[in-house]
Amino acid sequence: MKRTKNNKKLVEKVDTSKVYDPIEAIKILKENSYTKFEEALEVAINLGIDSNKTDQNIRGVTSLPKGTGKTIKVAVLAKGDKQNEAKEAGADIVGEADLIDSITSGKINFDLMIATPDMMSSIGKVAKILGPKGLMPNPKLGTVTQEIKNAVENAKSGQVQYKNDKAGIVHAGIGKMNFDENDLLENLKAFFTSINKSKPDSVKGSFIKKVTIASTMGVGLKVNLTSLR
C-alpha cells in the first residue's frame, strides 16, 4: 500500500506526459525519491526494430564513465598463469574444474563470468545453467578473452551489458540516485551513444524512438533525444 500511495502522489505531482530535458528529469527523480534504500537510475530505450528478425536484435556492452555504483562479483574460468592474472586484477572467484563443479551443484554466487577461449569446451557442460541466467560468457561481450586483466578491471569499473527484449526495448541501470546529477547525465549520454552506434544495417528509418528514465520505485519520465546526442 505504501508504494501505491507514494506512486499516486508522484503521478499527481509530476507531469508524466511531458518530454523533459535530461538534467531536469534527473533532478525531479532525485527530489522525489521516497525509499529507505538507495534507488538506481534506470533507463528504457524503445527501438525501431523488429525483434522477430535476428539481424535487427542488438546486444553489447559499454562502460559508464562514472560507474554503476554496484559491486559486481566476478568469476573467472581459466588455467595456470591466467588464474594469477585474474586474482591480481581483483576477480572474486577463480577456478577451473572446481568452478565448473560448483556451478553444476547450483552454487552461483557471482554476477558475471569471464572465461579464456581454451575453457569454452568445459563451460559447455554448464551452458544450460548459465544461459537462462544471462551468465554465459560471450566473445561479443568481451567475457571470452585472453585479456583477463582488462576484462576483470572493466567489469569492476562500471560496465553494463545490454540487449533488447521482445518488445524492442533496452533496459539498464546506469547509476545510483545518490550520484551527482551531472554524473548521472554523463552516464545516460554515454549509454545512449553506445546504443545509437549499435544500429543494425537492416534497420531503416528512425532507430531510437523514445528514451524514458526512472528511479527504481519512481515514475518514468520521457527525455528529449536531441539533448542526448
Q: Note every long-range contact of 77-81, with CB atoms under 8 Å and residues 24 or more positions apart, other chains counting.
A: 77/113, 77/114, 77/115, 77/116, 77/119, 77/122, 77/123, 77/137, 78/115, 78/116, 78/119, 78/148, 79/116, 79/118, 79/119
- Cell triple for 97: 574444474
Mean pLDDT of 47-58: 94
Q: Are 32 and 164 in contact (CB under 8 A)?
A: no
11 pLDDT band, cuts 50/70/90, is: low
* Tens digit of each residue's pLDDT (9 = 90 or more) over 141-172: 889 999 999 999 988 888 888 999 999 999 99
pLDDT at position 1 is 42
Per CATH, domain 16-68+159-228 is 3.40.50.1100: no
With vertex at residue 156, the alpha carbon angle to CA 117 and CA 139, rounded to the nearest 5 degrees, is 25
- Domain 74-156, CATH among 3.50.50.60, 3.40.50.790, 3.30.70.100, 1.10.375.10: 3.40.50.790
